[in-house]
Structure 1
Amino acid sequence: MIARIDPQRPGHGAQARTAAPIANAMSIDVEDWFQVAAFDRHIDRSQWDSLECRVERNLERILALLDRYDAKATFFTLGWIAERYPAIIRAIVAGGHELASHGYGHQRVSDLTPEGFREDLMRARVALEDIGGVAVHGYRAPSFSIGRDNLWAHDVLAETGHRYSSSVYPIAHDHYGMPEAPRFAWRTQAGIVEIPPSSLRMLGRNLPASGGGYFRLLPYSVSRWSLRRINRLDGQPAIFYFHPWEVDPEQPRVAHAGAKSKFRHYLNLHRTEQRLARLLNDFRWQRVDRVFAEHIEV
């Protein structure tokens, strides 16, 4: 059963036309360049500790950028990263941002059993809470890997003490997506609030409008128009996301990866930070848990 949540507080719905601008939710999926799904067939997990980690310096740049525009964000963070870079985890919390979970080792939920998923969640949550010193309520699945075939994941999230997820992307994609899912926040039978990445309803289908590779592929004006449409026409907050490696054009190259994976990963990396600065300036940004505070009930 799917129950849609319709935010109706100042800044949302019809009131958005006369009240202050809607606060959109900014999110960062904290993983390093060698952990992305596009390269998992080319870089074995046993190699991770021997490769050059660049996530800490990239997160420092991102934190400085957010601070420059007085923006707050949610950092969906791998437990693997937290254990190796505790100082940057504490800096995220000290900056007033939300610390949330991206699982421990960037395993797709669709590749895990319920027992394996529970283990991954708890390992990540223990690491994040011990290092960050704050409770972790939110979760985002690697590669948005919760969909129609594994909605049992919401039950496991509830059992492990999480309050919300941002993991079901209501679009059609070659690696993920559940087009029939609601475009805006909805509550599962388990009580978890699912907050999907933003999409546009056009020409009878849902189109992605929440960042990631599309933010680098398309002109910035497309992203700005899309988010404004969601705010003004739908009267809803947008959910945007990106990764630390997307502000790092000098990261190592995976030479033996396929052409499609390379295109998706490396395209316009040199433009991302400048585009993010424009985005932070053009909209109002806040943490996921605060944008949806009335519904998450932390």
Structure 2
Amino acid sequence: MNVFSIDVEEWYQGIEIPMDQWNGFERRVESSMERLLGLMARYDVTATCFVLGKVAEEHPDLVQRIHEAGHEIATHGYSHEKVYNLSPERFRRELRLSIDLIQSLTGEKVRGHRAPCFTITEDSLWALDILRDEGILYDSSIHPVFNYRYGIPNADRQPSVIESDDGAQMLEVPVATYPLPDPLPDTNVPCGGGAYLRIYPYWLQRRLLRKIEERGEHISVYVHPWEVDPEHPKIDLPFRVSATHYWNLESTLPKLEQLFQDFTFRPYRDVFASELESLSA
């Protein structure tokens, strides 16, 4: 089985706009999540939803609906600030706040985490120890690619157990990449969703995922709710932010529908049930 996940956040929360300016923007996460929930129900897809703490705070009913629909709820942090811009103390504080918000709504322990914009990098590996300290069993924040905002290009492409000096363990599960052959070692093609799902023609997306399957490897694909909402407001942004945020939004839902027909998807808690049970023992 493969993993499908959703980074549950508003359209304006990942585009370099400070949190103290968010009040001026239209809330659209509920309507866009309803589109995704409907599509997943239609194709019997269950997902892991990495919910931003601020979203859980403002839309508690949405979190409960996602949970009642059978999807796993994990944490996406609280403020959507990049991890390497936070102090360890603030990261821990925001992590605890997001976990407490989610657990109060679902009644279930939060076991998974994904950093905003995959920003556990070489400069913020300290965050992994804090995640383990706070009871997180798996993380999906390290992206084995190069990007101006994130990435550790030579990181493991497949799930691996990370162990701290005190022996505490956690499962790291990156989103999908396909490795290029020599003479380009440690060069991976990102194909785990997000902007890449919108940028690539579907035949290429499908081909890359099939090639990963042929290697006997794990596939993890993700999206954001705003990516299935092409009507969300368009604002002036730096070009490299705007280009990836608004590119080809109309293609997301049709591509997801194809993806759900071509591949089987389940949440992290199901695909890695035995590993998580071992880590929690």
TM over 0.5: yes
1:98 to 61, 72, 75: 72
Q: Give the superposition deviation at 1:249.
A: 0.6
Please say if 1:31 is aligned against 2:12: no
Letter in 1 for 2:116: P
More divergent stretch after superposition (260-269 vs 239-248): 260-269
Identity within the alignment, %: 40
Letter in 2 for 1:250: E
Q: Which residue of 2 aligns with 1:223?
A: 205
2:222 to 241, 251, 269: 241
> Match of 1:211, SS?
coil
Q: How many residues align?
A: 270
CA distance in 1 between partners of 2:117 and 2:202 (Å)? 23
Show the 5 A alignment for 1:73-84.
Answer: 73-84=47-58
Show the 5 A alignment for 1:13-24.
Answer: 23-24=1-2
Output the TM-score relative to the length of structure 1.
Answer: 0.88
The runs of 4+ residues in structure 1 deviating greater than 6 Å are none
Letter in 1 for 2:24: S
Q: Give the superposition deviation at 1:230.
A: 1.0
Q: Which residue of 2 aligns with 1:280?
A: 260
Q: Give the superposition deviation at 1:149.
A: 2.2
> Match of 1:193, SS?
strand
CA distance in 2 between partners of 1:47 and 1:165 (Å)? 29
1:200 to 174, 178, 187: 178
Aligned-pair RMSD on alpha carbons?
1.1
More divergent stretch after superposition (182-191 vs 244-253): 182-191
Q: What is the CA deviation profile of residues 186-226 of structure 1, one whole-angstrom value per residue up to 9, with x for unaligned ones?
A: 11113111101111111322111101111101101111111
> Match of 2:124, SS?
coil
CA distance in 2 between partners of 1:225 and 1:251 (Å)? 30
CA distance in 2 between partners of 1:246 and 1:45 (Å)? 20
CA distance in 1 between partners of 2:141 and 2:218 (Å)? 17
Letter in 2 for 1:221: W
2:61 to 52, 62, 87: 87
Q: Which residue of 2 aligns with 1:152?
A: 126
Output the TM-score relative to the length of structure 2.
Answer: 0.93
> Match of 1:192, SS?
strand
Which structure 1 segments of 5+ residues have no match? 1-22
Letter in 1 for 2:88: P
2:91 to 107, 112, 117: 117
Q: Which residue of 2 aligns with 1:16?
A: none
Which structure 2 segments of 5+ residues have no match? none
